[in-house]
Amino acid sequence: MAETKLHDELLNNVDEGVLGEITKLDELKKGAFNIRKNGEGIERAVTENVNIVTKTDKPGIDIYVKENTKFDIVHIPVIITQSGLKDVVYNDFYIGKNARVYIVAGCGIHNDHHKDSQHDGIHRFFLEEGANVTYVEKHYGEGEGTGKRILNPVTEVYLKKGSHMEMESVQIKGVDSTIRETKGVLEEDANFVVTEKIMTHGEQFAKTIFDVELNGSNSSSHVTSRSVAQGNSKQYFISKIYGNAKCFSHSECDSIIQDNAVVTATPEVTANHVDANLIHEAAIGKIAGEQITKLMTLGLSEEQAEQEIINGFLR
C-alpha cells in the first residue's frame, strides 16, 4: 500500500483516510497536537502556550494551557486500524485562568476483520477562573470486517468561577456500540453547554448519560441531544441534573425514529435549592408525512426527501 508522509511520520492511505474523517489534516499544523495510533503516540507538537506531556503512571497525556492564552488550537486524534485491539487512554486538560482554547478530539476505527476493536477515552477538564474552552469530539467507524467498532468516551468537566465550556459530540457513522458519559461540576457563574448528534442503524447500540451538578450561584447548563435511530438499532438517553444553588439548566432530547428502532429518554432533575430552575424536554417520533410530501413536490424522491430532513435535523 502506498505511503504518505504527515509531519515526519509515515501513515498509509487507510490511516490518513480515517484521520481525515475525525479532523482536518491541514489544521493539524496550526497549533499543538498529539496523534495516537493503535495504542501508541506517534507524533506530537507543542506551542508557546500549550504543552503536552506523556503520563508516567498510565496511558495518556496531560495538556497544559497557560493562563491568559488569547486563543490556541489543540488536536488530539486517535486512530485504530488493528483488529482486536482494546485501547484505553486517560487525557487530562489543565486550562489556565482566563485562557481561551479550541480543542478537537475523537477516534476513528477501521476494522476489516472478525475481532472487535475498541477505544475507551477518559478525558478530564480542569478550568480555572474565567477560562473558555470549545471542545469538539468526533467518532467514526468503517471497515468490511464482522468485528465490532466500539467507542466508549468519558468526559469529566470541572468548571471554576466564571469559566465556560462548550462541548460538541458527534457520532458520524459506523460505530456498532457506544456508551457516552459526560459529567459536569460547576462553581459560581460557570456555564456548560453540550450538543450531541448521533445516528445509529442496523443492530447498533448507543447510550448517552449526562450528569451535571450546578453547585455555584448563577451557574448554568444547556444540554441538547439530537439523534436518528434506524433499522433495529437501540438508543438510550439519560440526563441527570442537580440544582444545588441558584442556577438554571435546560436539557432536551429530540429523536427521529424509523423502521424497528427503539429510543428511550429518561430525564431526572433534582432541585436542592429554592432558586434552582431546571427544565427538561424530550420528543421522539417519526418524520412527519407532510414534510416528505412537500419536498417530493420539489422533485425529490421519497428516499431523498427523508435524507434531506435527517441532514437538516442533525446539522
The answer to pTM > 0.85 is yes
Q: Which is higher by pLDDT, 8 or 54? A: 54
| C-alpha–C-alpha distance, residues 1 and 32, integer Å | 29
Lowest mean pLDDT among 20-29, 85-94, 156-165, 284-293: 20-29
Calculate the average pLDDT of the chain. 92
- Does 11 score more than 80 pLDDT? no
The answer to whether residue 2 scores a pLDDT higher than 50 is: no
Direct distance between the N- and C-terminal alpha carbons of the chain, in angstroms, rounded to an integer: 35
Backbone angles phi, psi at 295, to 5 degrees: -70, -35
Higher pLDDT, 66 or 173: 66
- pLDDT confidence of residue 174: 92
Tell me: pLDDT of 309 over 70.
Answer: yes
The burial class, CB within 10 Å (0-12 / 13-18 / 19+), for 222 is middle
